[in-house]
Amino acid sequence: MSDDGGHLVEDCIFCKIIRGEIPSFKVFEDDQTFAFMDINPINPGHALVIPKFHAENLYATPDEWFGPTMATVRRVATAVDKVVQPEGMNLLQANGPGAKQSVFHLHMHIIPRSADDGATMNWELVPGDMDAIGALAEEIAAAVE
């Protein structure tokens, strides 16, 4: 069910985050995108970027929303790299149950990595320390250029 001319849907958790109905640790927002910390982080600095347009996955996302989403991914990943200073960074975007997509709204994971962190492609959700996530969100938000 649409509430704004087709861009967002009523029961999508990410659409609710965009509308401010569910709290998040926002690190960046513009007219077309929203970036926030993952509250089940693989590593410190794990963030998500979503378009402010509800599309189930990569395939359903119109180009006019995908391009700005990827530009925000680069911006936020650069800020995460600056603040966290990881050995590397994974960008992960899952499509469908076989890829373990858990929220059916296009989203890109920005995942800081170290060579020995033990992270695998599919991970179990383990709640993080909300105070630490919030503090890191503030640092990353301040570093977004």
- Please give the C-alpha separations between residue 129 and each of 2, 36, 81, 87, 103, in angstroms, as whole numbers: 34, 15, 20, 22, 21
Bridge partners (DSSP) listed for residue 47: 37, 110
Q: Which residues are catalytic?
A: 107
Q: How far apart are CA 115 and CA 109, in angstroms?
A: 18
Report residue 52 as tokens.
């402010």
Say if residues 57 and 95 touch (Cβ distance below 8 Å).
yes
Report, in this order, helix, strand and coil percent for the chain, each rounded to 5. Answer: 35, 20, 50
